Structure 1
Amino acid sequence: MGNASSTLTQYDIEEVQEHSDNLFSQQEIVSLYHRFCQLDRNGKGFISADEFLSVPEFALNPLSQRLLKMVDGLNFKDFVAFLSAFSAKASMQQKIEFQAILVASGLASMRPIIFKVYDSDCNGKVAFKDILEVLRDLSGSFMSDKQREQVLSKMLHEAGYTTESSLSLDDFYKVLCNSTLKMEVEVPVD
């Protein structure tokens, strides 16, 4: 499994399935492996940022630059684990708490994937301005700054926070659990 050109054994599939909290079926893991091999054009056993950007849906995603920091250098096992955070089968808690390993840096990141998208300055807290930046990236010109601030203020207020609050992971989880935010991706099965 270290080299993208090798084939998956039943043991490999089960290991990857367990590593991703059994959020993907064996058939989905095999499909993901084929997609991983297509992306790993050089057969290095990991996917670089440039290879991720070759996926039009990823490159066009307004959060792609934030996500690139987390996905550059993922091997297959960690690629599936990363995607499992976006599985329709994952609970909101799993989506927020799921850990990503940044292979390129050689260090395991201790902050969950979704939290890291918002915590752009990597200080372990998410401030109003951090969430506002992501909302701006996502909404583009469809919303004014004032509308974004109003939506965000209301969302924070409903969860018991203010625009002055700095959210820890637990606080962030509470805010997201009170929202109707969807973070899902469907895995096509060949």
Structure 2
Amino acid sequence: MGSRSSHAARIPDVDSIRRETGFSQASLLRLYHRFQALDRNEKGYLSRMDLQQIGALAVNPLGDRIIESFFPDGSMRVDFPGFVRVLAHFRPVDDEDEGNRDPKEPEPLNSRMNKLRFAFQLYDLDRDGKISRLEMLQVLRLMVGVQVTEEQLESIADRTVQEADEDGDGAVSFLEFAKSLEKMNIEQKMSIRILK
């Protein structure tokens, strides 16, 4: 079909994508090439099957949940801006980013709160705004596989929900989730260094 160019000018809406995601022009170009490589049939979008070709997601226990995050609202395809928006959550936080941010601008996609929101939605399988004991158990099963007995997993799920559940409703809200992780360096743990 058409030839694939390496010019950033060929990336649709490159300036607005750069502002929204915080990626440099060079990073966007690398991501655009990756997007094009995954889009083997040059459709202009990626399907779930295209994303399943990414080796790191294939071996990640939460790979299917991460792939699902590229398709909000049950859509069947993701275009380049949507692809980059999801990846922007994993962009490392630069100290200079925080100091120069205009408070009137939206919070960057790679901010601590947005990283926490992204992580929360990996657990909130039914998207009701709460992580139930059953949802916690399902994610734990994905993460540890057969290395732990079902009884041990249930105990871990119970304890995790109980410790985070401050209002006693038997589930973990986003605010409870964020508070339970306040000492964890989410900014580092949810960063991929190549995504500068």
What TM-score, normalized to structure 2?
Answer: 0.70
Pair 95,188 (structure 1): closer, same or farther in 2 beyond 3 Å: closer
Indicate whether 1:56 and 2:55 are aligned: yes
Indicate whether 1:91 and 2:111 are aligned: yes
Pair 116,188 (structure 1): closer, same or farther in 2 beyond 3 Å: closer
Indicate whether 1:183 and 2:190 are aligned: yes
Alignment partner of 1:177: what SS? Answer: coil
Q: Tell me which residue corresponds to 2:107.
A: none
Q: Tell me which residue corresponds to 2:141.
A: 136
C-alpha deviation, 1:160, in angstroms:
5.7
CA distance in 2, matches of 1:163, 1:179: 23
CA distance in 2, matches of 1:94, 1:29: 20
How far does the alpha carbon of each residue in 1:93-144 deviate from its partner, in whole angstroms, 9 at most, with x for none?
12123xxxxxxxxxxxxxxx32221111222221122122112211223333
Of 64, 75, 81 in structure 1, the residue corresponding to residue 79 of structure 2 is 75
Which residue identity does 2:191 align to in structure 1?
A: E
Alignment partner of 1:74: what SS? Answer: coil
Aligned residues with identical type, % of pairs? 29
Which residue identity does 2:120 align to in structure 1?
A: F
CA distance in 1, matches of 2:3, 2:79: 9
Alignment partner of 1:46: what SS? Answer: coil
* Contact 2:133–2:171 (Cα < 8 Å) also in 1: yes
Alignment partner of 2:31: what SS? Answer: helix
Q: Tell me which residue corresponds to 2:170.
A: 165
Q: What is the aligned length?
A: 170
How far does the alpha carbon of each residue in 1:42-66 deviate from its partner, in whole angstroms, 9 at most, with x for none?
2222111111111122122222222
Unaligned runs of 5+ in 1: 98-112
What is the Cα-based RMSD across aligned positions, in Å?
3.1
Pair 117,78 (structure 1): closer, same or farther in 2 beyond 3 Å: same
Q: Tell me which residue corresponds to 2:123.
A: 118
Unaligned runs of 5+ in 2: 72-76, 94-109
Q: Tell me which residue corresponds to 1:102.
A: none
What TM-score, normalized to structure 1?
Answer: 0.72
Which residue identity does 1:13 align to in structure 2?
A: V
Which residue identity does 1:79 align to in structure 2?
A: F
C-alpha deviation, 1:35, in angstroms:
0.5
Q: Tell me which residue corresponds to 2:16.
A: 15
C-alpha deviation, 1:79, in angstroms:
0.8
C-alpha deviation, 1:157, in angstroms:
5.3
C-alpha deviation, 1:156, in angstroms:
4.7
CA distance in 2, matches of 1:179, 1:131: 18
